[in-house]
């Protein structure tokens, strides 16, 4: 009787549609290792933020996979060309992680700067580019330019590197830095690979493989644009059912992602 009750509950339509969304990954993590800077970027959009001069309420951030170099720009609106698409993916959380860092730094100064976060953004980006990263143990600036940046505090209170520098010595040190830049990037790449393997092992411990077969009936997660707003907290978490027609391939997965993006834009 207990088994029959469990089977009956699994077939309850309302129970399935109101079932909580599982955040347990269905596939193992596959780290992406890139050999040089600016080979691949991750893009994400943050907002709405407090209104800045020029009615800017959004921030578009792009993060380089290798060097962790961040480029960010404030915007008053988000157009379709700026959104993440299958050709410009959200990079498995790389850009989202960078956005979190930027927003946290801006939030600490929010009381001082008020709505002028867009003007403070270049200073926050400079601070991030000259800060060593856990994955590479190097600063993004050094991995991109091959030498450490001279930060403003070294100009105001001259250090040995800045105070004793001459034009001839600067030329020699810059040439030496260019000679070892490849070694520096190779070392960072090895550290990054080790770091990502550690992250993947922790991630894969929580993976629960879920496979679908042709002919299976499935429910799809309800997105914000398809959610019944009048139902409030009683709205369904899942919609459907949909029937699996064929096994996914790279081509039809791209088409599916484009269709989902268009439905979210509408």
Instruction: Give the CATH number for residue 124.
Output: 3.30.420
Confidence bin at 81 (pLDDT 50/70/90): very low
Structure-token pair, residue 266: 């509408």
pTM, two decimals, is 0.62
> Can you say how many angstroms the Cα of residue 173 is from the centroid of all Cα atoms in its chain?
35
Q: Is residue 35 part of a domain?
A: no
| Count of structural domains within the chain | 2
End of a domain among 159, 176, 204? 204
Which tens digit of pLDDT belongs to each residue from 181-229?
888 888 888 888 888 888 888 888 888 887 778 888 888 888 766 777 7
Q: Are residues 55 and 177 in the same domain?
A: yes
Q: Is residue 149 part of a domain?
A: yes
Residues 6+ apart with CB under 8 A from 8: none
Structure-token pair, residue 191: 């550290």
Q: Are residues 112 and 132 in the same domain?
A: yes
End of a domain among 204, 223, 242? 204
Task: Residue 67: name the closest of 200, 194, 198, 191 by CA.
Answer: 191
Reported as half-sphere exposure (CB side, CA atoms, 13 A), residue 36 has a value of 5
Which tens digit of pLDDT belongs to each residue from 91-145?
455 666 666 777 777 777 666 666 678 888 888 888 888 888 888 888 999 888 8
Q: Is residue 32 part of a domain?
A: no
Domain that holds residue 74: 41-204
């Amino acid at each position: 009787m207990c088994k029959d009750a469990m089977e009956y509950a699994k077939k309850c339509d309302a129970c399935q549609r109101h079932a909580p969304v599982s955040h347990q990954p269905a596939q193992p993590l596959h780290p992406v290792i890139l050999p040089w800077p600016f080979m691949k970027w991750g893009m994400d959009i943050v907002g709405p933020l407090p209104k800045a001069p020029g009615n800017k309420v959004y921030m578009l951030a792009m993060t380089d996979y290798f060097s962790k170099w961040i480029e960010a720009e404030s915007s008053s609106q988000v157009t379709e060309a700026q959104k993440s698409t299958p050709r410009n993916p959200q990079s498995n959380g790389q850009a989202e992680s960078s956005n979190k860092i930027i927003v946290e730094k801006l939030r600490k100064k929010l009381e001082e700067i008020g709505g002028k976060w867009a003007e403070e953004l270049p200073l926050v980006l400079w601070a991030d580019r000259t800060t060593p990263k856990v994955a590479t143990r190097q600063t993004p600036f050094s991995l991109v330019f091959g030498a450490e940046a001279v930060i403003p505090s070294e100009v105001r209170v001259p250090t040995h590197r800045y105070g004793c520098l001459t034009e001839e010595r600067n030329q020699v040190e810059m040439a030496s830095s260019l000679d070892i830049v490849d070694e520096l990037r190779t070392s960072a790449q090895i550290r990054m690979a080790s770091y990502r393997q550690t992250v993947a092992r922790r991630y894969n411990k929580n993976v629960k493989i879920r496979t679908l077969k042709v002919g299976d009936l499935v429910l799809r997660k309800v997105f914000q644009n398809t959610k019944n707003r009048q139902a409030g907290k009683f709205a369904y978490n899942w919609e459907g059912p949909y029937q699996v027609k064929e096994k996914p391939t790279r081509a039809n997965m791209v088409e599916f992602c484009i269709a989902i993006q268009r439905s979210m834009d509408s």
